Amino acid sequence: MVSALFPTYPRADLSFETGEGAWLVASDGERYLDFGSGVAVNSLGHAHPHLVGTLSAAAASPWHVSNLFRIPAAERLAERLAQASFADLVFFTNSGAEAVECAIKTARKYHAANGRPERYRLITFEGAFHGRTLATIAAGGNPKYLDGFGPPVDGFDQAPFGDLDAVRALISPQTAGVLLEPIQGEGGVRVAPPGFLPGLRALCDEHGLLLVVDEVQTGVGRTGRFLAIEHSGVAPDIAALAKGVGGGFPLGACLATAEAAKGMTLGAHGSTYGGNPLATAVGNAVLDIVLEPGFLERVAQLGGLFRQKLAALEDRYPQVIEEVRGEGLMFGVKTRVPNMAFAAAARAAGLLTIPASDNVVRLLPPLIVTESEIAEGVARLETACASLAQEKRAGAQG
């Protein structure tokens, strides 16, 4: 059958009928352990009873009223996100790219409000991924995503990830701020080196720049803290969230301090669907769970357990695994075989993963994953590694 969908994704020939927690059941009845979580979106797994109940109840109320009226669920969610983070104010979007777009506009508008509209450029980093809009592919700077779409949107200067001296050299009278992912996800789960984020904060403070973090993949508990940047002890001025904040419902958010958002006044920005009653009801339900006492500490503990098991797997299969990276329940396995082949072998063993750049496969189990499911996931990874190691030996002999 020929699909009417744009052929922009390399879809595996799999579809799923049901899901529960960390598990998905395919249409042929095969059970898969989902350590991709829809690219970190299903933060509370599949069919979480609290999310299902909340969405069902919200579906019986007005689905959409527009932002021309008050939306109590949105107001409550914004207040809770601010209380859980550095922020004072929140703008809701439908996706991560829109949240990053809002973050870029907020940073530019801040300087315009201060009488310095010429300060519109952001320093970004090689290996970054910020979304697929024209502005966010320009911010990411990846030639693969820019190709064929005309001149990139102006306003972004790229530095090597982790290179403070290169950032310092790029600062000009036009620089508005610095935009980065504390852990590059699509770029290969590359963690910011020690001292880098505090160094950026100091540079921003010294030059009057805004520190903008893209926490679309890392935020809302993925790394064992509410925001990944908290591991560094640094507070940003602006942050973009999505993926896990909706637990599977399309929802994003741009968070900012009141000072950084000073230019986002009446009419400065908008979104038809952003912050609608359905999305923000589910967002509140996600926070009901993630902000429970001990939840994030449990994520951090499970992350430590997962890291130990992955490190042991790396020791047993050095011909397949080159390196394990990550934080909390966000890991990248850099492989010595093509990462697509690794992902296919894992899938054949009943484990779903997400390929990334730098020949990495991402492991992003839901935050409600159990210890036994982590053990089962690693056992399935071991099956995949054994198969790939056997193929390498056969190839070397043949």
Q: In what order do the strands lie in the sheet with 238-241?
A: 89-93, 252-256, 238-241, 210-214, 175-180, 121-125, 156-159
The yes-or-no verdict on residue 185 having pLDDT over 70 is: yes
Q: Is 215 assigned a ligand-binding role in the annotation?
A: yes
**pLDDT at site 50:** 98
Average pLDDT for residues 181-197, to the nearest whole number? Answer: 97
Residue 47, marked binder? no
133 is in an annotated binding site: no
Known catalytic residues are: 129, 214, 243
Tallying the residues shown for the chain, one arrives at: 398
Which residue has tokens 């506009």? 105
Residue 1 has a pLDDT of: 56
Report the percent of the chain where pLDDT is more than 90: 97
CATH number 3.40.640.10 given to 48-289: yes
- pLDDT surpasses 90 at 398: no
Beta bridge partners of 392: none
Which class would CATH give 14-33+292-394? alpha beta
pTM of the model: 0.97
Q: Quick check: 392 pLDDT over 90?
A: no
Nearest to 194 by CA among 164, 168, 171, 219: 164
- Residue ranges of domains in the chain: 14-33+292-394, 48-289
272 known member of a binding site:
yes
Query: Is 217 marked as a binding-site residue?
Result: yes
